[in-house]
Structure 1
Amino acid sequence: MLKRPAFIVALALAAFPYCAQAETAVVIPPPQAAAPSDGKDAGLQTAVLAGGCFWGVQAVYQHVKGVTSAVSGYAGGAQKDAYYQTVGSGRTGHAESVKVTYDPKQISYGKILQIYFSVAHDPTQLNAQGPDEGPQYRSEIFPQNEAQAKIARDYIAQLNAAKVFKRPIVTKTETMKASFFPAEAYHQDYATLHPYQPYIAINDAPKVANLKKVFAAEWREKPVLVGEKMGE
């Protein structure tokens, strides 16, 4: 991640003062149970997570050790409506999401969720995330199997019981595997390619900084980029 000049941050804060909340991370306990799919002999696994604008969520997981790919896209709706302008209406059922492919020999599904709830987004905001509003910005986990669904549900119950957050978690857990559709190419790697854009500087760069601070053991300096996977 490129270092942001101080004057750019100051200008962005002046323009978007309500976005300063992104600077705060919530340190939370890990899940009490581990998913069976996290076995040492398992192949690559997939997690699909929605937590507001996909730019920031993608940027976080691109810096996580053990993640081999993080792709921005849409989940929860039909393929025919899986386009940015259409999803932006809030009427397609989609949520802006990120498909995280990871190696369970290096990182567990539980750790993926711990990062999700701690630094990737605020799970107590209903149908919104910072300056973005609408059901397409909702907090939702799309489990890829029943094991993931149980881990997610149990973890939400654990965090709520411990009153980790000041407000209840509103994160939904889809009961059936939802299709994921990659977003348009110009959305991929957006936070890395546009580090000085005010929205990124205020809302997303702090999430990546919090990842490095709170999850130092999982931090990877060089992000894994979609463009590199495509040979760009």
Structure 2
Amino acid sequence: MTQNSDILPTEEQWLSAKTIDYLKSDKAFVYPESVVEAISTIVIAVHNSYERNDNAIKYLLENIVQTLQDRPVSDQYMQINRTDLAQKPLIMQLLILMQDIVIKQHYLGQSVQQLVWLSIAMHTAALLIVQGRKTDTDTILMQFKMAQFSASPRRTWIWDTLPGIAQTEINIEPVLSVFDGILKQQKSALDLLNNKQSIHIEEKKSNKR
């Protein structure tokens, strides 16, 4: 008879384990166990929602709200300002902002869409972590963190570019296509900035001659 230890983990179990390993390997920050568990739970919930044929959004929201209503992030970490947020890893910052939405019961209308997309961003970050794509992971987390945290149109543009959750159908291919577009857009913006900086440096050199 096959032993339980010989049974291969499911995709979501494997992804969850990899995510937990990544969080616990962070040398700069010790994640509270409740935070690790909440992030893992949300990642699994999103992953499972992709497999559902119906009521995927309802299933996902129920899992997210239930998880965050338990307040996995303690009050000592819930100071939502630029300085305090910056002291935590990006994926935890995202969790803090999501918990803030739920605890304040703002998960209605537009906030529902934001809560779903923030959870999808967290899941996408987990996929990128597994692939060792740290820069892309940070880019996705930062874009969604700033979109939720900031009121500046320079930061909130992302909400206008994302399809409504009714149109996503929680299908992984179009969702990943959306995130790929975000990464390409950010890379183009970075390339443009680097080009401008290079031109500026060359101009300064020319002026000194």
TM range (shorter): under 0.3
TM-score by length of 2: 0.25
Please state which structure has a larger fraction of its residues in helix. 2
Task: Report the TM-score, using the length of structure 1 for normalisation.
Answer: 0.23
Q: Is the strand fraction higher in 1 or 2?
A: 1
Structure number with the bigger relative contact order (C-alpha 8 A, sep ≥ 6) is 1
